[in-house]
A and B are shown apart, each in its own frame.
Chain A
Amino acid sequence: MPADGTDPDAAAAGRLRLEINDLCKEFYRTGGERVRAVDQVSVDVHPGEILVLLGPSGCGKSTLLRCVAGLEQPDRGRMLIDGAVVYDGEAGTMVPAHRRDVNMMFQSYALWPHMSLRDNVAYPLRVQGASRKQARAKADDYLELVGLPGLGRQYVSTISGGQQQRVALARTLINEPSVVLFDEPLSNVDAKVRSQLRRELLRIHQELGFAAVYVTHDQIEAMGLGTRIAILRDGGVEQLADPVTIYEEPATRQVAEFVGEANLIPARVTRVSGEVAVLDCVFGEIEIAAARLSGSAADGDRRAQPAEGAAVVLMVRPEHCRLVRDPAGGGGANSWAATVDATMYAGSRTEYSCQVGTGQLTVWELATPHPLRAGAAVRVEIPREVVRVVEAG
């Protein structure tokens, strides 16, 4: 009998909605090659939380989600939904999808074309044994909640893609599952509709307070929706933290690269004096906060401070770099003469690609009415506090 927090006291409101322990799932490709789609993943979902699974294509997000839903049978590990075991590799427990207290919204919406929208939404209630009348009444309420009042009699083929998404959302939420699963629900509509639906989803989440696991490969969506974000790579969890931490203090170089734009600067530690560490990089000398060398505070796993001479990789977000238009001005620490290689005007900001020494640096300048031309001589500056160490040793 596995030992975990199943004593009755824990069955309070604060109980975890979803616990995943060391879950593994392998696929065999045609030809026999093994793919570790989910590799020893352990995550929890708290009540009212949206946990976002973010990662590049093929990293196993969908597979993990489908394991939670019961549509895919994992190979090893353990899963509890609302405190009840739904999968235990050792005990051989596998609760089928329809007996798990979850519901899932599919990327393709998976609305049934032979039922009216109202019957689509009412289906989970009908399955639970609600009368047709009750189920339909509640379905109408939910259609209204998602902003589609009065469309209950229509059929799927007569409504737009964005509307279909809303119907799918209503169907997913109507039986108030312990955990709501979303597999890239917004990826099939254009950017405008997507951001509108994102806001709507947040509103509905605030109203209903459900717990959710949300798969996406869109970072804006992840940042906007996630209470916490789990970055997945090759089936494993690379970092699990709130959006600000993920962006500002990426645990690894891959996270830094995947979330947002990042300048990655290989460097070598020359000396550490008190608060400040001095390193050597392609730009010349660079100063950073010495505390950064031993890992970020939020990271939890502090690493040993690299010795002098050790190689590290630094990360700076382009919007944290400053561009000084007077090439002679400035001076001091972390300020270098540079040439603008390429300029890309993007409205709210201008993106410069600069040649600094023998290296390249991307700098974003916010709200610039007069972008510089390529070839302009400038200075770039990197404030000491914004430099992170994403790889050491």
Chain B
Amino acid sequence: MGDNRTATATRPARPGAPARRSGAAGRLGRSPFSLVTALIAVGVLALVLFPLGRMVVRAFEGFGHQRWESLVGAPWFSGMLRDTVVVVGASAVIALLVAALLAWINERTDAGIGMLGDVLPLVPLFLPTVAMAVGWVLLANPDVGLLNGALGVVLEPLGISYEFNIFSYPGLILVYVLNLVPFAYLPIAAGFRSMDPSLEEAARVSGARASRVLRTVSLPAIGPAVLAGLLLVMVVGFALYSVPVIIGTRPDIDILAVRIIRSIRQTYPPAYDDAVLLSTMLLALLLVLWVAQRRLVGSGQFARIGSRSTGSSRIELGPWRWPMRSLLWLYVTLAAVLPILALGIVSFQTYWQPDLLASEWTFAHYERILFGYPLGQRSVENSLFLGLVGGGITVLVAALVIVYAHRRRNLLGKVADAVAKLPAAVPNTVLALAFVLALAGPPFQLGATLLILALAYFVVYIPYASIASEASVASVDNSMEEASGVSGAGEGRTFARILVPLMAPGLFAAWALVFVRILGDLPVAVLLGTGRTPVIGFVLLDVWDQGIFNRVAALALVMTAITVPVVMVMMWLGRPRWRRAKRARAYRARA
């Protein structure tokens, strides 16, 4: 405490003065707390910039254009580029349309179903992506897909023969779309929510019908939000790995993110050079998109669950109300219910077959995965540990950095803020690769440790946590903190006792999200996980490569089964205890 005394130390402490006044005093913000925070911010900075920097340097060092030329000249290159752009582009546009429709139903029409409606389009965010992908393979595999089985029962008597085939462009795009919808939904719903309802009312009293109001008023009014959604969806789409690796490999749809990992994992000797160059390309592309996205909308556009327009100003859909409402449920059915159902069925079947009546049922796959397979149990433990502890630390650090940036508008604050959100533009694939190159070998020798996994997950998911923290910090009035300050509490105490509890709902939601993403992660797991440090994603791809679908289903379901209760507990822990009472009071006041 004493070494903090700077300027006031020139004055003798007065006799009888209370301790809290005679103690430390200095220039604003030289408290131990802000020192620690600044150090952490610097640490985050180093952790994000160092590996990526090394990778980019490696991409441009030495051999000049030659490597780039040989990459671009490779026989697969143009096909890969075309496939990637077609799949991601088409998925992004379709996801945007679906998300806009869902957001409009929820926010602007009388078909919305309140809080539940807010949550439904976001459900896939809280389920492991890979589980959905595997689920769809089980559903729509050309011969043995469960949906095809069901379809056959209906169509065969009619003499029609039709089959879904997930291993196709439409199939791949379908699963991409299901995955991307939440990312477009968030900004668009926020856009609708902040739109002045009287704009629509004006159109309605002018005699326009609902569809016309949507076309001529609602959609143009949320233009910026739609554009933001499009860019966000592209960023996420280009980075998506688990969907194309599961679905795109068999029909030879060549996706950039998969190519990067393949050039290391399935090439001997590993073609690090190709991976580095491809990653650098992807990175440059996404950075452009990301900058454009930040330009167009501040992060404040992220939707907050809660405040919604009142029923009276909503568009009445009349007979269309139920069909529209069922679209919400259709989305959740396709994105969550059906795939999980398929996982459940196949994981208990002795052999995968569409005919449920003829199936034999067994627990053997679970036994095999969890107990018979040396890595199974350990991978679950590791993933749980990384998700809970690593995820928790990630969220806390993000909160600290964001609060620091929010309060101190100095250079370090701004830089830390930007850096904590920057990895949003960096695909897991690329980050994992950068970590392998920078930290696995000498001098750090972190290869095959849980630490390197934890650090990679930290960097990959800190943007999620930062964006969530930012929204929560903004929702806490400054006076909450100031009141703590004038009550005599220092910055550390104010953070722990006032800010963290008040931000808790947002922080727990972020923790849940990060947990799910870590548990369901593939690219980091594949590149940084090893036989000594297995995580679920690592084992899942291993089993997938062996081609035993029942076991893959069992493992994917285990993954999902872990996330659901954990997410629920976290949401419960983070529920704002004080808000329920408030709502009750508001009702009483109205009555």
Contacts and interface: CB of A to CB of B under 8 A. Distances in A.
Interface in A76-110: 81-86, 88, 91-104, 106, 108, 110
B8 interface: yes
Interface string B445-489: 000000000000000000000000000000001011011111111
Contacts of A113: 502, 576, 578-579
B28 A128 contact: no
Task: Tell me the dominant secondary structure on chain B's binding face.
Answer: helix
Contact of B502 (A69, A94, A112, A171): A112
Contacts of B477: 108, 110
Given A73-B28, A99-B25, A127 B488 contact: yes
Contacts of A96: 25-26, 28-29, 31, 485, 490
B511 to A, nearest CB: 17
B205 interface: no
Given A82-B21, A127-B489, A93 B502 contact: no
Interface stretch (A38-46, A154-162, A217-225, A317-325): A154-162
Given A103-B486, A112-B483, A123-B487, 12 more contacts: A71-B485, A84-B21, A91-B10, A93-B8, A99-B20, A101-B21, A110-B482, A114-B504, A114-B578, A123-B497, A124-B488, A175-B487
Interface string A132-169: 00000000000000000000000111100000000000
A11 B16 contact: yes
B297 to A, nearest CB: 20
A70 interface: yes
Given A71-B482, A98-B489, A106-B483, A81 B21 contact: yes
Closest 5 CB pairs of A and B: A157-B582, A110-B483, A110-B479, A97-B485, A124-B487
B11 interface: yes
B294 interface: no
A314 B483 CA distance: 45
Given A84-B14, A108-B477, A110-B480, A98 B21 contact: no
A123 B484 contact: yes
A98 B485 contact: yes
B577 interface: yes
B22 interface: yes
Contacts of B485: 69-71, 96-98
B418 interface: no
A373 B377 CA distance: 95
Nearest to B29: A96
A354 B497 CA distance: 62
A1 interface: yes
Contact of A181 (B486, B489, B501, B502): B486
17 contacts: A6-B11, A84-B21, A97-B486, A98-B484, A98-B485, A98-B488, A99-B20, A103-B487, A104-B483, A110-B480, A112-B501, A114-B578, A123-B489, A123-B497, A128-B488, A155-B577, A175-B487
Interface residues of B, number: 47
A94 B487 contact: no
B479 A108 contact: yes
A369 interface: no
Contacts of A91: 7, 10
B23 interface: yes
Contacts of A103: 486-488
Contact of A157 (B22, B29, B581): B581
A158 B484 contact: no
B486 A70 contact: yes
B12 to A, nearest CB: 9
Nearest to A174: B487
A81 B18 CA distance: 12
B74 interface: no
A6 B498 CA distance: 37
A98 B479 contact: no
A93 B7 CA distance: 5
Nearest to B481: A110
A104 B484 CA distance: 10
B56 interface: no
A94 B24 contact: no
Contacts of A158: 581-582, 585
Contacts of A108: 477, 479
B160 interface: no
Interface string B80-113: 0000000000000000000000000000000000
A204 to B, nearest CB: 18
B486 A98 contact: yes
B487 A106 contact: no
Contact of B25 (A69, A82, A93, A123): A93
Interface string B553-591: 000000000000000000000001111011001000000
Pick from A69, A88, A96 the residue with the most CB of B within 10 Å. Answer: A96
A104 B486 contact: yes
B554 to A, nearest CB: 42
A133 B108 CA distance: 52
A114 B14 contact: no
B14 A83 contact: yes
A171 B24 contact: no
A8 interface: yes
Given A99-B21, A114-B577, A124-B488, A106 B482 contact: yes
A162 to B, nearest CB: 14
A95 B486 contact: no
